[in-house]
Amino acid sequence: MIKLFLSYSHQDEDLRKELEKHLAVLRRDGVIDIWHDRRIGPGDEFGREISNQLESADIVLLLISSDFLHSDYCYDIEMKRSMERHAEGSSRVIPVILRPCDWKKTPLGKLNATPTDGKAVTEHTSLDRGFLDVARAVRTAVEGFYPTKPAPGENGTTAALGHTPHRSSNLGIKKQFSDRDRHEFLDEGFEYIARYFENSLKELEGRNPGVETSFKHIDANRFEAIAYVNGEEQSRCGIWQGSRSSFMEGILFSYSGIGNGNSYNESMSVGDNGYTLFLDPIGMAHFGQDRDKKLTHAGAAEYYWSLFIERLR
């Protein structure tokens, strides 16, 4: 059995739990054993136990975010020792990019990170897509151990685990998200979509002769986007946050622009699975088509942009 050590910031605990779910098939098949600091038992010395587990790990997943890079313990202790063992050939380090950050300027920049091309998990259209990419990378790494890895009990890997009580790593418990959690997630999502549209419109205009664009931030909760081809309007949309005191709560999209705000072609509301929050489109704009649900902010922005850009094609 291959031992995985997860190094992460506690600010990213929800994302760590999501990753563990995507590694469940490998765990259920008895291929991997997952260890992280939440498995430290009562009375165990924190630093010593982490050091022991890190020294006996076959693969170390460094779950990278700005919080990880900010943490002295994660960066100066866990990452430093992991990279030393990687250089020695006694273990393998896989950087898992959870959230966008300046990781390429660190020693990790010389390693092949996952998801593909180092695109952060939260920048994928959904967390599931991002973590699926990670799970496949982990499976590939694990399979690379089998030709030379001894059978359980033949040398120190099993023995190194002997002092640790056997317990499941499947310890995630669903939590209740508050109204504030949902409101903040929605606000952050709208701001992300607005920035995404503003930047994409500039790039669209710069790359395509004859195309001009307009981005108008009407207020903190509403904006309009327009694309002209040779001076003629070809696509328009309005995106706004609905009232939290009505059935229109969420982030709404209309091909007619903002107008009076009562008519829309698509909307997204905040949902959760007990572990993470996501944006869930109703599907009015693509009725009957199979589309991603559980969208990240990046996925939501890309979805609304696809509705806008399709009228130019």
The secondary structure of 234-290 as a DSSP string is EEEEEEEEPPTTSTT-SEEEETT-STTSS--SEEEEEEE-SS-EEEEE--STTTT--
pLDDT at 283: 77
For the chain (length 313 residues), average pLDDT per consecutive 10? 94 94 93 90 82 94 97 95 94 96 95 95 92 96 68 41 50 79 94 95 94 95 96 96 77 87 86 89 62 83 95 87
pTM of the full predicted structure?
0.68
pLDDT at 261: 58
pLDDT at 155: 43
CATH code assigned to 2-160: 3.40.50.10140
5 burial type by CB count under 10 A (0-12 exposed, 13-18 middle, 19+ buried)? buried
Question: How many beta carbons lie within 10 A of that of residue 204, not counting itself?
Answer: 19
d(CA 55, CA 49): 10
Nearest to 51 by CA among 142, 149, 163: 163
pLDDT at 246: 63
pLDDT at 157: 39
pLDDT at 279: 94
pLDDT at 112: 94
pLDDT at 313: 80
Q: Which residues contact 195 (CB under 8 A, 6 or more apart)?
A: none
In the chain, domain spans: 2-160, 179-312
pLDDT at 243: 79
